[in-house]
Amino acid sequence: MPKYFADLSGESPVLTGENASHLISSLRASPGDRIAVCDGNSMDYCCEITEIHPRQKQVFVRILNVCPSPAEPHIKASLYQAIAKGDKFEYAVQKCVEMGIFEIIPITTEYTLAKDGLSENKLKRLQAISEAAAKQSMRGIIPRVLPATSLEQAIMDSKRHRLAFAPYENERRQGIKSFLSRKIINSNETAGIFIGPEGGFSPGEVTAFEKNGIERVSLGPRILRAETAGLVALSAMFYEFDELRASNDG
């Protein structure tokens, strides 16, 4: 069953625009067909199509039932990802959205190669990638890609999280497995993950993490690409805190 993000509030719930076009032209949907609609706030609506008006690009539906989206993790994780060149950042957005990230905060660091931050257009493109990945992975929200910020501001922002850590490629003492095994995070609490750029974190940045209680962790003895590391850290955290259970798995 295809899934759409739409606002179904109001007297006669209706899908319009791209959603309607996809249903009408690509899927050739007809009245009686069932579709899944998500309101973008982690609620899923099972709907039945009642009327289709192709010229007005409107697909009217009847809501059969509403339930919390099973695809949303209980832990809301923020990815503080150093801006990377080319499509690397796009890859990181796509994969972490599939994995269940809550929001993505691009950061500029000392060794960030893409010094000029993110243009308006680039930000729009990244948000569109997040939306496409959210639809494809049947998410209950469309994770936001926020405007770029400095590492210093990101560290300040991360103080709201129950758990914030920085995978650091030169960390030799503490692996992510032992680090997470000593931590507790409850449902609806939040976490922050810092990922450096192609050039890694500078010594000054590592000190800033230390001074602000953000622990460094190793993701293993191999050097991961920046666009891979966030996904690995997120997967490990979700594995540790039971976010990788099947929908009806206990």
Comparing C-alpha atoms, which of 130, 142, 144, 140 is closest to residue 42? 140
Q: Is the CB of 59 or the CB of 233 nearer to ligand SAM?
A: 233
Q: How far is the CB of 122 from ligand SAM (least distance, A)?
A: 20
Q: Is the CB of 211 or the CB of 222 nearer to ligand SAM?
A: 222
- 245, burial (CB in 10 Å: exposed 0-12, middle 13-18, buried 19+): exposed
Q: Is the CB of 75 or the CB of 226 nearer to ligand SAM?
A: 226
Q: How far is the CB of 193 from ligand SAM (least distance, A)?
A: 9
Q: How far is the CB of 232 from ligand SAM (least distance, A)?
A: 8
DSSP 24: I
Using CB atoms, what's the residue nearest to ligand SAM? Answer: 196
Q: How far is the CB of 73 from ligand SAM (least distance, A)?
A: 21
Q: How far is the CB of 173 from ligand SAM (least distance, A)?
A: 12
Comparing C-alpha atoms, which of 67, 64, 25, 29 is closest to residue 48? 64
Comparing C-alpha atoms, which of 215, 205, 209, 220 is closest to residue 172? 220
Alpha-carbon distance of 145 to 183, in angstroms, equals 27
Q: Is the CB of 69 or the CB of 109 nearer to ligand SAM?
A: 109
How distant, in Å, are the alpha carbons of 90, 93, 107 from that of 96? 10, 5, 16
Which residue ranges make up the site for ligand SAM (CB under 6 A)?
167-169, 171, 195-196, 198-201, 218-220, 222-226, 229
Tokens of 117: 């931050």
Q: Is the CB of 201 or the CB of 241 nearer to ligand SAM?
A: 201
